[in-house]
């Protein structure tokens, strides 16, 4: 992670006439299974990276100071991932009740879903790479399905099923700029050791490299 940020620093533009005290390289000061960094460059740009389990985040863009804080804005603004209904396809010889795939048809496991019917309680579960199929002893026909990809929190409006669907649905996740954080003026305040970045998801503490 540090090697990546140092490599970026080497190609940064020359320092501005009045260098901000925020300019520098920072590492994320969180748990043992989380790594990340923030590079605030002297040309008014920043780079951000995070690796936390299955979650990978990145961003780059502009920064500016507001009083005693530095605020980040992702530029260009990322296009968020989306979910769309796709044509049904077979998996291992059968068409599953619900199949979530990437655009290339590869199945996406671990997608949470809720299936509703004309009567009885909805079914809640999560997909495998081969999708999910109604139990043989449950003869109800799905009327609507809600899906949510939990790692990047990708959701879609409820999919209403028609008679033509036959109670089956394929959802395609269109990644677009998945993993690119849309910082819109997210601000960080200076601390004794580095910075604390305030985000909607929670605060992130960074330690300045070379500061001790």
Kindly list the domain boundaries of the chain, sorted by start residue: 2-78+179-208, 82-174
Whether 197 has a pLDDT exceeding 90, the answer reads yes
The domain covering 2-78+179-208 belongs, at the CATH homologous superfamily level, to: YedD-like protein (2.40.128.500)
- Rounded to an integer, the average pLDDT of 185-204 is 93
Mean pLDDT on 140-167 = 97
| Res 56: pLDDT | 96
Question: Are 54 and 44 a contacting pair, CB within 8 Å?
Answer: no
Query: What is this structure's pTM?
Result: 0.83
- Tell me the three state secondary structure of residue 1: coil
Band of pLDDT at residue 116, cut at 50, 70 and 90: very high
> What pLDDT, in 10s, does the model give residues 58-72?
999 999 999 899 999
Q: What is the structure's pLDDT at 20?
A: 87
Ramachandran quadrant class, 120 (left: phi over 0; alpha: psi -120 to 50; beta: rest)? left
Residue 2 has pLDDT above 80, yes or no: no
Strand order, beta sheet including 169-174: 82-86, 169-174, 98-101
Cα–Cα distance for residue pair 123/144, rounded to 1 Å: 11
CA distance 60 to 69: 18
Own/partner long-range contacts of 126-135 (Cβ < 8 Å, ≥24 apart): 127/98, 127/99, 127/100, 130/91, 130/92, 130/96, 130/99, 131/91, 131/96, 131/97, 131/98, 131/99, 131/100, 131/107, 132/96, 132/97, 132/98, 132/99, 133/94, 133/96, 133/97, 133/98, 134/97, 134/167
The answer to whether residues 197 and 29 touch, using CB atoms and an 8 Å cutoff, is: no
Map residue 192 onto helix, strand or coil.
Answer: coil
179's tokens = 């993993």
**Is pLDDT above 60 for 18?**
no
pLDDT at residue 130, as a whole number: 97
Beta bridge partners, 128, equal: 131
**DSSP type of residue 15:** P
Architecture of domain 82-174: Sandwich (2.60)
CA distances (Å), 31 to each of 37, 124, 145, in order?
Answer: 14, 32, 36
pLDDT in tens, 82-107: 999 999 999 999 999 999 999 999 99
Q: Which residue has the tokens 């601390």?
A: 191
Three-class secondary structure of residue 200 per DSSP? coil
Please indicate whether the domains covering 2-78+179-208 and 82-174 agree at the CATH topology level. no
């Amino acid at each position: 992670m540090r090697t990546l940020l140092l490599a970026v620093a080497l190609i940064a533009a020359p320092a501005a006439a009045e260098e901000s005290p925020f300019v520098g390289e920072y590492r994320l000061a969180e748990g043992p299974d989380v790594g990340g960094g923030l590079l605030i460059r002297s040309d008014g740009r920043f780079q951000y990276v995070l690796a936390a389990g299955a979650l990978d985040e990145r961003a780059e863009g502009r920064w500016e100071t507001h009083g005693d804080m530095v605020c980040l804005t992702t530029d260009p603004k990322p296009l968020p991932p989306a979910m769309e209904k796709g044509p049904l396809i077979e998996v291992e010889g059968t068409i599953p009740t619900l199949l979530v795939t990437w655009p290339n048809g590869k199945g996406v496991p671990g997608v949470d879903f809720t299936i509703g019917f004309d009567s009885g309680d909805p079914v809640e579960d999560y997909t495998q790479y081969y999708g999910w199929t109604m139990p043989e002893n449950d003869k109800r026909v799905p009327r609507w399905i809600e899906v949510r990809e939990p790692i990047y929190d990708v959701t879609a409006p409820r999919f209403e099923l028609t008679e033509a669907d036959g109670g089956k649905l394929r959802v395609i996740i269109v990644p677009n700029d998945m993993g690119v954080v849309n910082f819109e003026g997210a601000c960080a305040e200076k601390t004794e050791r580095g910075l604390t970045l305030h985000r909607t998801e929670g605060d992130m503490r960074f330690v300045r490299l070379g500061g001790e």
